[in-house]
Amino acid sequence: MIALLLFACQDGTLKSANDAPDVTILRPTDGSTFDPAVAVTFCAQVDDELPNEKLAFSLESDVDGVLSDAAGEACDGGNAGWSMVLSNAEQVISLFVTDEAGQVGEDSVFLVPEVNAAPECEFSSPIDGSAIRLGDRIDLTAGATDDNTDPAQLLAILASDRDGEIWAGSPTSAGVVAQAYTPINGGDHVFTLTLTDPVGLVSQCRTSLYVEACVDLDHDGVTDCDDDCDDDNAFVYPGAPELPDAADNDCDGLTDEGTIYVDDDGDGYAEVDGDCDDGDAMIFPGAADGWYDGVDADCAGNDDYDIDGDGQQSDAYGGTDCDDLLATVYAGAPDTWYDGIDSDCAGDNDYDKDLDGYDSVRGGGDDCNDGSAMFYPGAPDAWYDGRDTDCAGNNDYDQDADGSDDPSGGGSDCDDTEASVYPGAPDTWYDGVDSDCDGGEDYDQDGDGYLSDAWGGDDCDDTRSTTNPGALDAWYDGVDADCAGDNDYDRDADGHDALATGGDDCDDTDATINPDAVDVAYDGVDSDCSDSSDYDIDGDGYQSDTVGGGDCDDADATINPGAAETWYDGVDQDCDGANDYDQDGDGTDALAVGGDDCDDLVATTYAGATDAWYDGVDSNCDGLNDYDQDADGHDALAWGGDDCTDTDASINPGETDTPYDGVDSDCSGTSDFDLDADGYVGEGGGGSDCDDADAAINPGASEVWYDGIDSDCDLADDFDQDGDGYDDPVAGGDDCDDLDDAINPGEVEVWYDGVDADCDGADDYDQDGDGYTSDAYYIGSADDCDDAVASVNPGAVDAWYDGLDADCAGDDDFDQDGDSYRSSAYGGTDCDDLEDTTYAGAADTWYDGIDADCAGNNDYDRDADGYVSDAYGGDDCDDVDASLNPGETDIWYDGIDSDCDGASDYDQDGDGDDSDAYGGTDCDDTDSTVTPAALEVRDGQDNDCDADCDEGLISAGDLIITEIMPNPAFVTDPAGEWFEVYNTTGTDIKMCGWTLADNVGTHTMTDDVLVPAGDYAVFGYSASFTAMGSVTVDYAYGAALLLANATDRVVLSDTSSEIDRVSWTSSFPFASGYSMELRSTAYDSVSNDAAASWCKSTSFYNTSDHGTPGAVNSGC
pLDDT band at 32 (very low <50, low <70, confident <90, very high): very high
Rounded to the nearest angstrom, the gap between the alpha carbon of residue 975 and the centroid of all alpha carbons in its chain is 38
Q: What pLDDT shows up at residue 966?
A: 95
Q: What pLDDT shows up at residue 15?
A: 46
Q: What pLDDT shows up at residue 1021?
A: 95
Query: Which of 63-67, 572-576, 1031-1035 has the highest average model confidence (pLDDT)?
Result: 1031-1035
User: Mean pLDDT, to the nearest integer, of 365-385?
Assistant: 80
Inter-CA distances, 420 with 106, 513, 670, 822, Å? 107, 62, 119, 112
CA atoms of 173 and 151, how far apart (whole Å)? 5
User: Mean pLDDT, to the nearest integer, of 305-319?
Assistant: 85
Between 952 and 77, the more confident residue is 77
Long-range contacts of the stretch 725-734 (C-beta < 8 A, 24+): 730/706, 731/706, 734/759
pLDDT band at 1005 (very low <50, low <70, confident <90, very high): very high
* 551: DSSP letter: B
pLDDT at position 93 over 90: yes
pLDDT band at 850 (very low <50, low <70, confident <90, very high): confident
Q: What pLDDT shows up at residue 14?
A: 40
CA atoms of 459 and 480, how far apart (whole Å)? 11
**225-234, 925-934, 992-1001, 1090-1099: segment of lowest average pLDDT:** 225-234
Q: Give yes or no for a cis peptide into 932 (omega within 30° of 0).
A: no
Which candidate, 859, 854, 851, places its Cα nearest to that of 823? 854
Q: What pLDDT shows up at residue 636?
A: 84
pLDDT at position 156 over 90: yes
Which secondary-structure segment (H or E) carries 125? strand 120-125
Long-range contacts of the stretch 1005-1009 (C-beta < 8 A, 24+): 1005/1035, 1005/1037, 1007/1035, 1008/940, 1008/949, 1009/1034, 1009/1035
pLDDT at position 59 over 90: yes
End-to-end CA distance of the chain: 89
Between 556 and 1020, the more confident residue is 1020
Q: How many CB atoms lie within 10 A of CB 347?
A: 7
SS3 930: coil
For 690-825, where are the alpha helices, taking DSSP H only?
none
Q: What pLDDT shows up at residue 990?
A: 93
Residues 24, 45: contact at Cβ < 8 Å?
yes
Residues 775, 783: contact at Cβ < 8 Å?
yes
pLDDT band at 7 (very low <50, low <70, confident <90, very high): very low
Q: How many CB atoms lie within 10 A of CB 783?
A: 14
Residues 1036, 1043: contact at Cβ < 8 Å?
no
pLDDT at position 8 over 70: no
pLDDT band at 92 (very low <50, low <70, confident <90, very high): very high
User: Mean pLDDT, to the nearest integer, of 885-890?
Assistant: 89
pLDDT at position 3 over 50: no
Farthest CA pair distance, the chain: 153
Inter-CA distances, 792 with 31, 52, 338, 780, Å? 64, 77, 97, 17
Q: What pLDDT shows up at residue 1007?
A: 93
Which residues, 6+ apart, have CB-to-CB distance to 485 below 8 Å?
none
CA atoms of 411 and 414, how far apart (whole Å)? 9
pLDDT at position 855 over 50: yes
Q: What pLDDT shows up at residue 78?
A: 92
User: Mean pLDDT, to the nearest integer, of 1-24?
Assistant: 53
pLDDT at position 130 over 50: yes
Q: How many CB atoms lie within 10 A of CB 739?
A: 10
Please write the tens of the pLDDT for every residue from 1050-1085: 999 998 899 999 999 989 998 899 999 999 999 998
- What domains lie within the chain, and their CATH numbers? 22-113 (2.60.40.10), 120-212 (2.60.40.10), 397-448 (no CATH), 801-859 (no CATH), 959-1096 (2.60.40.1260)
Which candidate, 782, 786, 741, places its Cα nearest to that of 763? 782
Between 246 and 1097, the more confident residue is 1097
Q: What pLDDT shows up at residue 191?
A: 94
Between 518 and 988, the more confident residue is 988
User: Mean pLDDT, to the nearest integer, of 858-884?
Assistant: 86
Between 704 and 1060, the more confident residue is 1060
* 983: DSSP letter: E
Please write the tens of the pLDDT for every residue from 181-193: 988 887 888 999 9
Inter-CA distances, 482 with 460, 464, 467, 468, 485, Å? 9, 12, 6, 5, 8
pLDDT band at 145 (very low <50, low <70, confident <90, very high): very high
pLDDT band at 16 (very low <50, low <70, confident <90, very high): very low
Q: What is the DSSP string of 1075-1087?
A: -EEE-GGG-STTG
Residues 1017, 1110: contact at Cβ < 8 Å?
yes
pLDDT band at 1019 (very low <50, low <70, confident <90, very high): very high
Please write the tens of the pLDDT for every residue from 931-967: 988 888 888 788 888 878 888 889 999 999 999 999 9
Give 1067's Cβ-side CA count (13 Å radius).
14
Residues 602, 621: contact at Cβ < 8 Å?
no
User: Mean pLDDT, to the nearest integer, of 571-582?
Assistant: 83
pLDDT at position 255 over 90: no
Please write the tens of the pLDDT for every residue from 321-374: 888 888 888 888 888 878 878 888 887 887 887 788 888 877 778 888 877 777
Inter-CA distances, 401 with 78, 420, 759, Å? 108, 10, 129
pLDDT band at 864 (very low <50, low <70, confident <90, very high): confident
Please write the tens of the pLDDT for every residue from 763-779: 778 887 777 888 777 55
Q: What pLDDT shows up at residue 1?
A: 30
CA atoms of 889 and 230, how far apart (whole Å)? 42
Which residues, 6+ apart, have CB-to-CB distance to 779 below 8 Å?
127, 765, 773
pLDDT band at 282 (very low <50, low <70, confident <90, very high): confident
pLDDT at position 234 over 80: no
Please write the tens of the pLDDT for every residue from 713-741: 888 888 888 888 888 888 788 888 888 88
* 1100: DSSP letter: B
pLDDT band at 780 (very low <50, low <70, confident <90, very high): low
pLDDT band at 127 (very low <50, low <70, confident <90, very high): very high
Percent of residues, the chain, with pLDDT higher than 90: 23
pLDDT at position 287 over 60: yes
Q: What are phi and psi of 191, to 5 degrees?
A: -95, 130
pLDDT band at 65 (very low <50, low <70, confident <90, very high): very high
CA atoms of 187 and 189, how far apart (whole Å)? 6
User: Mean pLDDT, to the nearest integer, of 849-854?
Assistant: 82
Average pLDDT of the residues of the chain = 84
Between 4 and 645, the more confident residue is 645
Which candidate, 997, 981, 980, 964, places its Cα nearest to that of 1105? 964
Residues 724, 744: contact at Cβ < 8 Å?
yes
Kindly provide the b/e burial profile for residues 211-249, where b requires at least 16 CB atoms within 10 angstroms of the residue's own CB: beeebbbbbbebebeeebbbbebbbbbeebebbbbebbb
pLDDT at position 172 over 90: yes
Percent of residues, the chain, with pLDDT higher than 70: 97
Residues 881, 899: contact at Cβ < 8 Å?
no
User: Mean pLDDT, to the nearest integer, of 125-150?
Assistant: 88
Residue 269 corresponds to which amino acid? Y
Query: Which of 10-14, 15-19, 418-422 has the highest average model confidence (pLDDT)?
Result: 418-422
Which residues, 6+ apart, have CB-to-CB distance to 1024 below 8 Å?
none
Kindly provide the b/e burial profile for residues 312-321, where b requires at least 16 CB atoms within 10 angstroms of the residue's own CB: bbbeeeebeb
